[in-house]
């Protein structure tokens, strides 16, 4: 069976460093940090008191107040990012696509964490009578965002959420790509959203010693590959990537950002939260992505790494890159945009895929910020694109995401021929 080609025709972003696609991209190129003191709740008693929150966002600026009350914050993010992506792709005009062959496949690692927390608080503060909001369950469940998006636009194609921790949105892109490749859909609205900056989210990751505790200087807390990195910075937001069958896009005259040409999947099979120390799962997922794309290591110009700023993770991923790319590793640009956005958990793959897509489209690589001291356990001869964006021809870019449970997912984008 001949697989169909899949291209990117629309993008939308709502992030800690920009509430639109253009604002996000410009902030990336300028090396802007989204980290600041937490405002969603009083963090005074927590080990970590900062995060990368979405700023100046009011859901009712975009959604009917009554409808917004039926949604958790992670779905608010999904709706806003999807609206920008759908408009950007030119799919907001009736008749542009067949609703029966247009789907929504979204990613979220946690879903409505704040809804669950607030409803639990209300119950325990009461007299024991089980009084719950009738929208408790549909606000909380991780699969609800693509449901809301499909209802808004009438898209009746494949519709579900992928859940694989921090690889969730990348898995959503992979599933979307696969359905289109196989001819099961013409267009799929994909991406991811997450809103875990809550007492439970911060407290839970603090208990694991996963978060940075650099409370005196939040903007510099996310510092991938730096010797004194001490954990990741929680982020929130959403991103939308519209994938479309190439001939369908060409026939309707859609603009094409890039082509998605390959994916990889693997498992570490090692530890529930820590990466394999030698990066075996990370190596395998990149090899699988190259094989699927029918590309060689030398064809890749840029890797948007998982790069969380954790002591073990950054070392393991660097080892994996050297294993897979050999001497070509020194010709690559590598960057961790989490140094600016923080870690958006289940939405990270979508936000970072957009950075990779726009690097391909614009021939410029966003930086890794906040690097101060070389880590002797990391090969600092590699080009981590420290401090400033770098212009170069980017014919193909690979985006990595790795999740708790050992879930690894990678996608490759290249210039559309």
Question: Cα–Cα–Cα angle for 328, 331, 335, nearest 5°?
Answer: 110
DSSP 165: T
- Asked if 338 contacts 166 with a C-beta cutoff of 8 angstroms, the reply is no
Rounded-to-integer distance, Cα 74 and Cα 57, Å: 12
**Which residues lie below 8 Å from residue 212, measured CB to CB, with a gap of 6+?**
48, 221, 222, 229, 230, 231, 232, 233, 309
Q: Is 306 a catalytic residue?
A: yes
The catalytically annotated residue of 76, 248, 276, 343 is: 343
Active-site residue, selected from the candidate residues 76, 306, 371, 407:
306
pTM for the model: 0.97
Active site annotation includes 97:
no
Active site residue 166: yes
- pLDDT digit string, tens, across residues 154-195: 999 999 999 999 999 999 999 999 999 999 999 999 999 999
Catalytic residue among 97, 166, 226, 240: 166
Question: Taking the CA atoms of the chain, what radius of gyration do you get in angstroms?
Answer: 20
pLDDT at 106 over 90: yes
Instruction: Identify the band that residue 94 occupies on the pLDDT scale cut at 50, 70 and 90.
Output: confident
Angle at 239 between CA 237 and CA 245, to 5 degrees: 165
Which two structure tokens, joined as six digits, stand for 303?
Answer: 């890797």
CA dihedral 90, 92, 97, 98 (to 10 degrees): 170
**pLDDT score recorded for residue 410:** 98
The pLDDT tens digits of the residues spanning 264-321 come to 999 999 999 999 999 999 999 999 999 999 999 999 999 999 999 999 999 999 999 9
């Amino acid at each position: 069976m001949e697989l169909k080609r899949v291209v990117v025709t629309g993008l939308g972003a709502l992030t800690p460093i920009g509430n639109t696609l253009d604002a996000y991209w410009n902030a990336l190129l300028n090396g802007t940090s989204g980290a600041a003191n937490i405002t969603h709740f009083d963090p005074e008693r927590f080990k970590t008191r900062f995060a990368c929150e979405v700023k100046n966002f009011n859901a009712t600026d975009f959604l009917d107040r009554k409808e917004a009350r039926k949604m958790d914050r992670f779905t608010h993010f999904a709706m806003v990012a999807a609206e920008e992506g759908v408009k950007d792709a030119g799919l907001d005009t009736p008749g542009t696509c067949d609703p029966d062959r247009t789907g929504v496949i979204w990613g979220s690692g946690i879903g409505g964490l704040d809804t669950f927390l607030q409803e639990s608080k209300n119950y325990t503060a009461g007299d024991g009578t089980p009084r719950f909001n009738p929208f408790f369950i549909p606000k909380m469940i991780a699969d609800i965002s693509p449901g809301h998006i499909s209802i808004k636009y009438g898209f009746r194609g494949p519709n579900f959420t992928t859940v694989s921790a921090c690889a969730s949105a990348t898995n959503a892109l992979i599933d979307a790509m696969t359905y289109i490749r196989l001819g099961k859909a013409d267009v799929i609205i994909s991406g991811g959203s997450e809103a875990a900056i809550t007492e439970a989210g911060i407290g839970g990751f603090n208990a694991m010693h996963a978060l940075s505790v650099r409370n005196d200087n939040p903007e510099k807390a996310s510092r991938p590959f730096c010797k004194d990195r001490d954990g990741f910075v929680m982020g929130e937001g959403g991103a939308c990537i519209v994938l479309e069958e190439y001939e369908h896009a060409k026939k309707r005259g859609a603009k094409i950002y890039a082509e998605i040409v390959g994916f990889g999947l693997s498992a570490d099979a090692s530890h529930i939260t820590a990466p394999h120390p030698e990066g075996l799962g990370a190596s395998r997922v990149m090899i699988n992505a190259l094989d699927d794309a029918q590309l060689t290591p030398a064809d890749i110009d840029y890797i948007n790494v998982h790069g969380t700023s954790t002591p073990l993770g950054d070392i393991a991923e660097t080892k994996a890159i050297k294993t897979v790319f050999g001497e070509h590793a020194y010709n690559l640009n590598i960057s961790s945009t989490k140094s600016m956005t923080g870690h958006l958990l289940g939405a990270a793959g979508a936000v970072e895929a957009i950075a990779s897509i726009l690097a391909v489209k614009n021939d410029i690589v966003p930086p890794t910020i906040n690097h101060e001291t070389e880590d002797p356990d990391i090969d600092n001869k590699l080009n981590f694109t420290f401090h400033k964006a770098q212009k170069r021809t980017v014919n193909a870019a690979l985006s990595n995401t790795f999740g708790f449970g050992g879930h690894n997912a990678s996608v490759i984008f290249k210039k559309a021929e």
